Chains A and B, each alone.
Chain A
Amino acid sequence: MGRSAGAFLDAGTFWRQRINDAPGYSVIRHDNRFRANVARSSVFASAYQNCIDARNTLMHTYAGSALTDICHGTEVETEEGICLRITEEREHRQLPLKPEEAEGVLIRRLRLVPGIGPATERLLFRKGCRTIHDLLHIRRFQKSAGEVLQVIEGCDFGSVAALIAGRMGRAHPDIITASAFSPDERFCFLDIETLGVFSRPVFLIGSAELTCGQIRFHQFLARDIDEELPALLAWRDSVPPDATIISYNGRSFDLPYLADRFAYYGIDSGIFSDQIDLLHITRRLHRSWLTDCRLATVEEEVLGICRESDLPGALVPEFYDIYRRTKNPGPLLPVLKHNRQDVLSLIELLRFYREMAG
C-alpha cells in the first residue's frame, strides 16, 4: 500500500499496521559496528536474521503444540486469577565470603568513617592505622569510628549497605562485601521480560532464591495479558517481605517497572527496600576494559560463560507478541531460555564478586 493512507479500513487494521511499521528496535545493516550506538535499541543484521530463521524453525516445529509441550509449569491461583509458574531446582554451592570475613574486610575501610577521604585514608595507612579499631585511639575520629564499628559489628546488610552507599556510593564493590551479612535465603535474583521499555505489560518474571543448598528458580508467566496481574501477585507473594532484590539494572528498570504495573492495576506494590544492582557494580569495576556492560558481554568476558544462540533483548517483545497472537509456543522458548540464563548469571556474577571481595 506504500504511503497511501487508503488502508484505513477500520481502526484495528490501521493501528496494527502502524505498530508493525514501527518496531521497537532497528536492524543494523552489514553488521556495521560504528552505527550500533546511533539507534536506541539495535540488532546486527546477521544476528537478526539468525533469530528470525530460528523463530521460523521453532514455529514450524511447534505448530499445533500446546504450551505444556515446551515447559512444565503449574497453575498458580491468586485473587485476580491464575498464571503459570515454571519451577526448576538446581544444586547450589554456598556463596563464598562468610560474615566474619566480610567484617574483616570492612573494618579495614577507613573511609567508612566520616571525615576520611581517599587522601586521609592513605596517610593514616602510612602512619600504621590498619583498621577502624585503630582509629579509636585518634581523638579526632574516636567518636565516629566507634559508631561505624557498631554498624559493621551489627552485621545487618541494610544498615551496612546504607553506610557504604552514603560514604562511597551505591555502586561501590563493598556493597558486595556487605551482602555477606545477609543470609543467602534472603536474596531474590530478579529479571523481568516486558512488551517494551515502558507502560506496557510485563509477561514474565524470573526470580530465584537460594534455599537449603539449592537454587529454586521460578518463572511467573502470563500466558496472555489477562494473566499479567496474577503473575505480579504470585511473584510478590513468593518473595519474603524482607528480601534483598539482586538484579542487573533493576534499580532503574525492573523494580520501577513492576511498581508501575502494580500501580496501573491500582495496587500498592510495597516496594522492596534492599537492593543490589550488579550493573552499577560492574560498571564501576569493568567499564574501562569491557566493550559494553550488557549482561551477556559480562558473562562472556568476566565469567567465561558463552550463550549459544541467545535471543537479543530487543526482540523479546516481538517473540512474545507472536506467541500470544498465534498461540504457537515455539517463539516463547528462546524467551524463557533467555530469561532463565539472565537470572542464573546473576547468581554466578554475585558469586564471582563475592570471591573477589574475599
Chain B
Amino acid sequence: MSTSPLLRSFQERYGYPDDALFIKTLAGREAQYAEVPHRLHPRLKEYLAGSGIKPYIHQALAYDALADGEDIILATPTASGKTLAFALPIIDRLLTDSDARALLLYPTKALARDQLRAFQEIDSATGAGMRPAVYDGDTPRDARPGIRAHSRIIISNMHEIHHILPWRRQWADFFAGLSFIVIDEAHRYRGVFGSHIALLIRRLLRVLAFYDADPAFILATATLGNPEEFGEQLTGRACRLIAEDGSPQNERTILFYNPYARDPTASLVSETKDLFSASIRHGYQTICFSPSRRLAEVIALRAREEFTADQSQGTAVCAYRAGYLAEERREMEAAIKNGEIRGIVSTNALELGVDIGTLDSVVMAGYPGTTLSFWQQAGRAGRSGKESIVAMVARYDPIDQYYMHHPERFFESAYEHAAIDCRNPIALSGHLLCAAAEVPIRDSDSRYFGAEMNDYLAALTAQEILAKTKSGIVYAGSSRASELVSLSGSASGGYRITHNGHLIETMDDSQAYREGYPGAIILHQGESYIVRSVNHEDRLIRVEAADVDYHTRPLMKKSVDVGTIERSTSYRGFTISSAEVTVTEELYGYRIVRYDRVIGSAEVDAPPLSFPTQGLLIEIDENILADGSIGDPDGTLHAAEHTLIAAMPGVVICDRYDIGGISTACHPATGGPAIIIYDGYIGGAGLSQKAYDLVFRVVSLAEAILSECRCIDGCPACIFSPKCGNDNQPLDKSGAAVLLQTLRDTIESTRSDEFIMK
C-alpha cells in the first residue's frame, strides 16, 4: 500500500515482528462549502466573490450563530480557515456599526503578528478601514495612544489584558464599543493557567459592563471531549458548539512503531533519532516532538552528531522549545520557514500555535499524552501536493503500550476532557485583588466570581489589602495588584538561570525545585550545564558549562494530609471522594543516569515544598485486601496507584507530571488503606476533581492497561512509574489487577443499580 521509499524503508526495518509496526492511511476529504450568507455586508460579498473564496460550512455556521447573537466555540483543526471564520462576522458588524470594535486574543506574540497580516489583507481588500493593530509588550510606547484611539480591531494576548485592565480610563472608548472577543487556541487555557485566564476574562467582562459593553465571544479550540462545558467554564457563558469542519484534508499516513516489541531494552532516544534522521535523509523537512525538553535536547544532539559525522547535512538540525530567549526563537523560526533547517526537535512549545507553517513529516518521541496533542502535532505534517507521514515511536509506558496493543482503539477513543477550576483559592483571591484595583467590587459582582467571593473579600479586607468604602471594595495594597498575580500559575516570579552572568533561560518555581537543584544537569541548545548554586532569595540559579554524557533525575519523599472532603460517594467496600489536601514534597537527592541506566546518586539538602491542593481519595475496605488472591497489600496499593496515575491523562487532559499520588495501608486520615491522587499545583488545577466526575473511565482504563499488559510481574508499560520516589518498591501486579477489577465492577454495578432504580 505504500509506495514512497521512506515508507518502504520503515517497513523493511521495523516491520518485524508484526506487532511492532502499525500503519494506517487516513483518507483525505473534499471541502464542504456553504452558500454565502445572504445577510452578509455587500462589501464582504464582493470581497469573497472577487478573491474567489467560497465559505466552508463552519465559517457560514459561525457567521449565522453570531448574527443571531450567540456566543460560539469553534472546534475545527488548525489550518481550517479560522481567520475567515472570525473575520466575516467581525468586519460585517464593524462595517454596519461605526462604534463597534473587536478584541482578538492569541496565545503567542508570533501568532498575533501572523493574524495581523491576515486581517490587514482582508481590511484593505474590503476597504473597511478598521486599522487592525497588534497591541502587546512589543508595541512601541508612542504608537499606543494612536492604536487605542483609532484601531477598531486590536490583536493582543492574555498577559497584556491582565496589565491593561487597571489602565481602563485610557481604554474607555475602545471598551465601550467592544462587540467581539476572539479567543483563539482556547484549549491552551486549561489547568492552572486556564483557571487564571477564566478569572481574567471575568475581570474583563466586569470592566466592560462598567462601560455598558457586552461583547459576543468567538472561541476556537482543538477537539476536546467537553467543548461546551469548557467554553462555559472559560467565559462564564453558554457557547454554541460549531464542529462541522468544511475544510479539505490531505491524505495522511499514520505510523505507530513499538521498538519494545523487539527489544525490551530499546532506547527511545536512539529509536526516535533513527526515524527522525531517516526522514530527513529522504528529503522530508521533519519535525520531531518530544515529551520533555530534556529529551528534545538529547535527540537533537545525537541527530546532529550523526549528520556532522557524515558531513552531509551540517547543522541543519536544531532543538526548539520554550525557555529560549525571544531573539534565538525568531532566528530559528525564520530558518525553519525558509527551509534552511531540515530537522527540528521540539517540545510542546511548537505545537501551540507558532506559525512555522506545515512540514513534510512528523516524528513523535512517545505518545504526546492526549489525543488533542496528537492531532495538533500530526497537523504539522501536510504540505499540499506532498505525501505526509506522521510517525509515533511508542514509549515503554502504560498509555503508549496500551495503544500499541490496540492501535484501532486510538482512532475510536473519546477525546479527553479539559479541566478549569475557577475556585482555585490563590487564583480566585489574586484576581479579586486585581479586580478591586479596576472597579470597586460590589455584592452583585458575585455573578462573576461565584458565591465564595464574599469570604475571600472578608479575608483580604481583614488583612487590610482591600478596604470597604461607600463605592464598594477598593484595593489598598502597597504593591501593584496585577504584578503580584502571575497568570502562569506560580504565584511568585520565576527563577533565572545564568551562565557567566548571562541569562540563558527561566524556570517557574516548581520546575526550579525539581530541575534546578545544585548538581543537576540542565541542557540548553544541546549544551549541558551543571547547576553550581541556587539563590532562593534572588531566584537565581548559576550554572557552568559541563561536558558530560549523563543526566540527573530528582528523588522525592512526599506526604499528604487530607482536609475538607468536598464530595464523596460510597460503594460496597470503597469510598471515593474529592477532597482538599496538603502535599509536602521533599527533594532529598538525585540519580545520575546515563542512557537510561542509573550510574550513581547524590544527596541534596533542600527545604520541603509544601502546598495545599485538591485530591482524589480512594478508601479501600481492609477486607478486600485480605482476599486470598492478593499477596502483598502494600505492593497492590502502590501498583494500583501507579496505574491510576498512568491512566488519568487518558481521560482528563494533563501530564503524568501534573499529578502525584501516594498509597498507604493505613492512612491517618482514613484509618485504613487509601490511594490519593492529587494535583501538583498550589491550590489545585481541577484535575482530580474532574477525575472524580469521570472516575469510572479512569478506573476502567487503568484496569485495561494492567490486565492487557503481557509482562509477568510488572514493567514500565503498566505498574512502573518513572517518577516513583521509592524506586518502584514494593509492587504487586496481580494484586493490583484484582483490586482494580473489583473497583471497576463495583462502580459499574452501583451505577447500573442506580439506573434501574430510576
Contact = CB atoms under 8 A, between A and B. Distances in A.
Interface of A: 2-6, 8, 10-16, 18-19, 22-24, 80-81, 195-201, 224-226, 228-229, 259-260, 263-266, 317-318, 321, 324-325
Contacts of A13: 463
Nearest to A225: B467
Interface SS majority for chain B:
mixed
A260 B484 contact: no
A81 B610 CA distance: 45
B469 A11 contact: no
A15 B463 contact: yes
A196 B437 CA distance: 12
A228 B437 CA distance: 14
Interface of B: 166-169, 172, 210, 425-426, 428-430, 433, 437-440, 456, 459-460, 462-465, 467-471, 474-484, 491-492, 509, 536, 582, 584, 607-612, 682-683
A19 B610 contact: no
Given A4-B607, A6-B610, A12-B465, A200 B480 contact: yes
B169 A12 contact: no
A171 to B, nearest CB: 18
A351 B488 CA distance: 53
B609 A4 contact: yes
B662 to A, nearest CB: 17
22 contacts: A4-B608, A4-B609, A4-B610, A5-B609, A6-B582, A6-B608, A11-B459, A13-B463, A14-B429, A15-B430, A18-B484, A19-B477, A80-B470, A81-B470, A195-B476, A198-B166, A201-B476, A225-B476, A260-B167, A264-B440, A265-B471, A321-B464
A214 B471 CA distance: 37
A226 B610 contact: no
Nearest to A260: B169
A228 B474 CA distance: 10
B478 A12 contact: no
Contacts of A198: 166, 480
A117 to B, nearest CB: 25
A265 B399 CA distance: 55
Contacts of A324: 464, 476
Nearest to B478: A317
A10 B610 CA distance: 14
Nearest to A269: B169
A2 B536 contact: yes
A10 B169 contact: no
A197 B509 CA distance: 28
Nearest to B491: A18
B477 A200 contact: yes
B469 A225 contact: yes
Given A12-B462, A229-B469, A259-B169, A6 B584 contact: yes
Of B428, B480, B481, most buried by chain A (CB within 10 Å of CB) is B480
B611 A6 contact: yes
A16 B492 CA distance: 13
Of B210, B440, B477, B683, most buried by chain A (CB within 10 Å of CB) is B477
A5 B437 contact: no
A195 B477 CA distance: 7
Of A200, A263, A317, A318, most buried by chain B (CB within 10 Å of CB) is A200
A14 B456 CA distance: 12
B609 A11 contact: no
Contacts of B169: 259-260, 263-264
Contacts of A19: 465, 477-479, 484
Contacts of A200: 437, 475-478, 480
B353 to A, nearest CB: 31
Given A14-B491, A199-B480, 12 more contacts: A2-B607, A4-B610, A6-B582, A8-B425, A19-B465, A19-B477, A80-B471, A196-B479, A197-B480, A199-B481, A226-B474, A264-B438
A228 B440 CA distance: 12
Of A4, A12, A317, A324, most buried by chain B (CB within 10 Å of CB) is A12
